[in-house]
Amino acid sequence: MPTHPLPATFMRGGTSNGLLIHRHDLPPNPSDWQMILSSAMGSPDPYSRQLNGMGSGISSTSKVCVVEKSARADADLDYTFVQVGIRDGSLDLAGNCGNMSSAIGPWAFNEGLLEFGGEGRREVSVRVFNTNTNKVILATFEVDGEKGVFEAEGEYGIDGVPGTGSRITLEFLDPAGAKTGKGALPTGRAVDVVKLNDGSSIEVTLSDVANPGVFVRAEDVGVAGDVNPAALEEKAGLMARLEEIRQKGAELMGLDPKTQTIPKIAMISRPTEKDDEGVNVIVRALSMQQPHKAVPLTLALNLGTASRTEGTLPAQVARGVEKGGKSVTVAHPSGKLEVGGVFGEDGAIKSALLHRTARILMKGDVYYSVKE
């Protein structure tokens, strides 16, 4: 198979990393991207290591972002997120990645897709339209207008990433119903009962904010809320049960149960006395049938707003969440994450927001092989 170069940037966004690519460097039809992007990431790989590409064998590092200038009146950039299947090389464009969303504005500025002239270091804001969810994200980050570069250096730190960087604020505007189009609670209920194939039933909350999620109490599936991801992965029976719950939840939300990226499933639990007093809820999430070592960012946003929505399982489990408060602190395997939300007087979710950092790791050509 001939090998071809593709201009790309390898970049960390939040607790994920992946390739950022100009839309014009790929075929016009996304259906023709599969062989190019899967090969670039090192998939398909039956060994799940992606040694032959830029991925590293886990879902949070097998990602691609495709970006271009937007023709929309309400956006500056269009951004398509692609999750690359590690074993099978499939491309999943169903949902967005909140972590990699933090890299879009800074990368686009460095690539000349945005114009912010002027003196010195300062904050700028960019409207990013995510094509996966048809939602706009307002990204605010620091630039050096004279040098024309994103300012990555700073003092802001996030759990799961060593060191510090400049703070990037992401505000997900009107995030409810991001994929289902049916509002924050697609079934119209704060709690649903899912019937499983073995005849048992389990309570879930099905929520669609930023990205759809299925929330289940950890105790209801027989594990501690702070279970280690490695220990969780060893429980084959539980992993299969969680996948069944996820698929049943997807059906109730009107989504394709076979699509792995959405909805994601998360086990939630109430913090105990030994946990930091500032923690409101504990989460253990799965992504692409793998225990996540942190928490998918859009799922954390979803959990944050669900924790402030009356009657949901997250609201029942969460500790010390103020009804009029703007933020919820989520504990995950790598630390803590504070997520915010703004609610209107009618209870509608106006926006969800959080802070990240990002850094360019490498720029040049990534090579891929295709059959000809």
In the chain, what are the domains? Answer: 3-167+357-369 (3.10.310.10), 192-340 (3.10.310.10)
How does residue 27 score in pLDDT terms, banded at 50, 70 and 90? very high
Q: Is the pLDDT of residue 83 over 70?
A: yes
Q: Are 155 and 181 in contact (CB under 8 A)?
A: no
Dihedral sign from CA coordinates of 363, 101, 328, 92: negative
pLDDT score for 136: 98
Mean pLDDT of all residues in 253-270: 96
Chain center to CA of 162: 19
Q: Dump pLDDT digits (tens) for 136-161.
A: 999 999 999 888 899 999 999 999 99
Residue 83 · residue 62 · CB < 8 Å: yes
Rounded CA-CA distance 60/39 in Å is: 17
| Structure confidence at residue 1 as a pLDDT band (50, 70, 90) | confident
Whether residue 322 has pLDDT greater than 80: no
For the cut 80, the answer to whether the pLDDT of residue 17 exceeds it is yes
Residue 85: its pLDDT value, please?
Answer: 97
Taking a C-beta distance cutoff of 8 angstroms, is the pair 109, 150 a contact? yes
Please give the Cα distance from 354 to 105 (Å, whole number): 15
The gap between the terminal CA atoms of the chain, to the nearest Å, is: 7
Q: How confident is the model at residue 323 (pLDDT cuts 50, 70, 90)?
A: low
Residue range 166-203, pLDDT digits in tens: 999 999 999 999 999 999 999 999 999 999 999 999 99
CA gap 4, 32 in Å, rounded: 15
- The identity of residue 192, as a single letter, is D
Question: Distance between CA 13 and CA 328 in Å, rounded?
Answer: 21
Q: What is the mean pLDDT of residues 231-244?
A: 96
Range 54-75 average pLDDT: 97
By the 10 Å C-beta count (0-12 exposed, 13-18 middle, 19+ buried), 368 is classed as: buried
Q: What is the pLDDT of residue 277?
A: 81
pLDDT at 241: 97
pTM: predicted TM-score of the whole model, two decimal places: 0.89
Query: CB neighbours (10 Å) of residue 33?
Result: 20
pLDDT at 221 exceeding the cut of 90 = yes
**Regarding beta strands 327-332 and 281-287, do their DSSP bridges make them parallel or antiparallel, or are they unpaired?**
parallel
Band (pLDDT 50/70/90 cuts) for residue 72 is very high
pLDDT in tens, 291-303: 999 999 999 999 9
Q: Give residue-wise pLDDT tens across range 343-364.
A: 988 888 999 999 999 999 999 9
Report residue 174: phi and psi, to 5°.
Answer: 45, 60
What pLDDT sits at residue 37?
98
Interval 103-138: pLDDT, tens: 999 999 999 999 876 677 899 999 999 999 999 999
Q: How far is CA 86 from CA 38, 138, 224, 259, in A?
A: 8, 30, 29, 14
Please state whether 118 falls in left (phi above 0), alpha (psi between -120 and 50) or beta. Answer: left
Q: In sequence order, what are the beta bridge partners of 339?
A: 328
What confidence score (pLDDT) does residue 345 get?
82
Mean pLDDT of all residues belonging to the chain: 95
In percent, the amount of the chain with pLDDT more than 90 equals 89
Distance CA(21)–CA(27), nearest Å, equals 12
